[in-house]
């Protein structure tokens, strides 16, 4: 009997200790010496747009909570990469991620809105979308909540451009037979297929090696990702196509988030708001700088496309809308197109 009581007491002690030690359990108190740890995992480098914004967010949280909450940022797929960071969030092994939204296809296929060819006109259009009600429905969808995930902010990167090693790409027929790396999902697969090209889904952290070793001939990305990953070292041509977007959202583990003491969570939310404003500003600036860096490297031939050439690509990519319009939903596609 005594033994049973002792075991019960030890179990109770362990339960309380776990609940107070962070993880996805509720931590009701936090001090400078025993702060709430928010683990934030992402795949790009520390000097990328996302990397810089994540570091600033960590500083802001420290300042605003007076050290009672601490953000540990794990960049460059150090802790988790494309293949496992979402699972790690769902299980509470990390508390925050900021993936390219198309990678959320595993939980809700509508996130592939971002891949729909030539859907967004310019950066202003993207910002309007981020601030719209239709965007908020994605962040707070039941599909995310059912997996204990919640979106708290949109972060921006930029328009995607094609790079490859085979030939300069301008017209739809130029893409024939080229194999591209894709981020995730069926929409991107269909995009490449519509151009007569092939594709393989490869994690971001493995893409440089895949390009270098010729596993794939090309890829599509923003200037900033191309530059900070040094793809110019392993690619011969870059076509300024602006055919799709690469943007992010910040997602949290809901149990962890809701379990934070309210006063701390309010401060962390304020920090996220400020970091988001900075991120949007950085996205435009850093992408411009990166384009200059890529040009100045002298390593890739940079190919500009006229409006007519872009229109011809858009026409060739129409099958993507025919095939995936229903999946993405007209609410979202028309909602984005009709933003005023
Ligand atoms: C990619 O896989 O190319 C991007 O999603 C990486 C990133 O997070 O910007």
Tens of pLDDT along 274-291? 999 999 999 999 999 999
Q: From the CB of 204, is ligand 1 less than 6 Å away?
A: yes
Following CA atoms 150, 333, 285, 43 in sequence, which dihedral angle do they give, to the nearest 10 degrees?
Answer: 40
d(CA 127, CA 153): 12
Give the span between the Cα atoms of 80 and 89, in whole angstroms: 10
Q: Name the nearest CA neighbour of 119 among 245, 303, 248.
A: 245
Q: Are strands 179-182 and 218-221 parallel, antiparallel or unpaired?
A: parallel
The rounded percent of the chain whose pLDDT value lies above 70 is 92
Pocket test for ligand 1, best of 225, 230, 286 (most atoms within 8 A of CB): 225
Q: What is the pLDDT of residue 22?
A: 41
Q: How confident is the model at residue 30 (pLDDT cuts 50, 70, 90)?
A: confident
> Which ligand 1 atom lies nearest to the CA of residue 48?
9
**pLDDT > 50? residue 84:** yes
- Give pLDDT, residue 200: 98
**Which runs of consecutive H residues, i.e. helices, occur in the chain?**
2-20, 49-64, 85-90, 123-130, 133-139, 142-145, 186-194, 207-212, 223-228, 254-259, 262-297, 307-316, 318-328, 330-337
SS3 250: strand
Report the nearest-CA residue for atom 5 of ligand 1: 100
Which stretch of DSSP H or E encloses residue 181?
A: strand 179-182
Whether the per-residue pLDDT at 15 is higher than 80: the answer is no
Place of tokens 């309210």: 262
Q: Does the pLDDT at position 36 exceed 80?
A: yes
Q: How far is the CA of 11 from the centre of ligand 1 (A)?
A: 43
Return the pLDDT at 340: 83
CB 226 within 8 A of CB 294: yes
Q: Is the pLDDT of residue 305 over 70?
A: yes
Q: Does residue 75 carry a pLDDT above 70?
A: yes
pLDDT at 144 over 80: yes
Angstrom distance (rounded) from CA 216 to CA 211: 6
Check if 225 has its Cβ closer than 6 Å to any atom of ligand 1. Answer: yes
Residue-level pLDDT at 19: 37
Whether residue 247 has pLDDT greater than 70: yes
Best of 99, 205, 244, 245 to mutate for ligand 1, by most ligand atoms within 8 A of CB? 99
Show Cβ contacts of residue 302 under 8 Å, excluding neighbours closer than 6 positions: 238, 240, 294, 295
Supply the mean pLDDT for the chain: 93
Whether the CB-CB separation of 52 and 232 falls below 8 Å is answered with: no
How many whole angstroms from its chain centre is CA 105?
12
What count of residues does the chain have?
340
Q: Is 183 in the pocket of ligand 1 (CB under 6 A)?
A: yes
Mean pLDDT along residues 181-204: 98
Ligand 1, atom 3, lies closest to the CA of: 204
Q: Is 44 in the pocket of ligand 1 (CB under 6 A)?
A: yes
């Amino acid at each position: 009997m005594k033994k049973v009581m002792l075991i019960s007491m030890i179990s109770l002690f362990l339960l309380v200790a776990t609940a107070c030690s962070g993880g996805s359990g509720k931590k009701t108190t936090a001090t400078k010496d025993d702060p709430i740890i928010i683990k934030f995992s992402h795949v790009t480098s520390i000097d990328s747009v996302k990397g810089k914004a994540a570091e600033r967010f960590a500083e802001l949280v420290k300042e605003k909570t007076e050290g009672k909450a601490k953000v540990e940022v794990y960049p460059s797929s150090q802790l988790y990469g494309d293949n496992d960071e979402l699972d790690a969030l769902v299980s509470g092994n990390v508390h925050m991620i900021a993936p390219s939204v198309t990678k959320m296809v595993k939980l809700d296929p509508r996130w592939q809105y971002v891949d729909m060819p030539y859907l967004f006109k310019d950066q202003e259009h993207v910002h309007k979308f981020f601030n719209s009600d239709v965007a908020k429905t994605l962040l707070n969808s039941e599909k995310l909540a059912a997996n204990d995930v919640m979106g708290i902010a949109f972060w921006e990167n930029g328009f995607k451009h094609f790079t490859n090693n085979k030939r300069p790409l301008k017209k739809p027929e130029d893409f024939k037979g080229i194999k591209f790396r894709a981020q995730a999902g069926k929409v991107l697969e269909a995009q490449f297929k519509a151009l007569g090209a092939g594709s393989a889904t490869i994690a971001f952290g493995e893409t440089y090696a895949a390009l270098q070793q010729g596993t794939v001939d090309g890829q599509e990305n923003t200037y900033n990702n191309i530059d900070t990953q040094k793809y110019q070292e392993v690619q011969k041509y870059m076509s300024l196509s602006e055919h799709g977007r690469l943007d992010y959202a910040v997602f949290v583990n809901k149990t962890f988030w809701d379990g934070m003491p309210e006063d701390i969570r309010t401060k962390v939310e304020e920090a996220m708001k400020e970091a988001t404003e900075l991120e949007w500003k950085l996205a435009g600036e850093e992408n411009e700088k990166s384009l200059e860096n890529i040009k100045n490297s002298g390593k890739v031939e940079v190919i500009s496309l006229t409006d007519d050439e872009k229109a011809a690509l858009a026409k060739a990519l129409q099958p993507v809308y025919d095939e995936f319009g229903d999946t993405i939903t007209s609410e979202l596609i028309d909602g984005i197109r009709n933003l005023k």
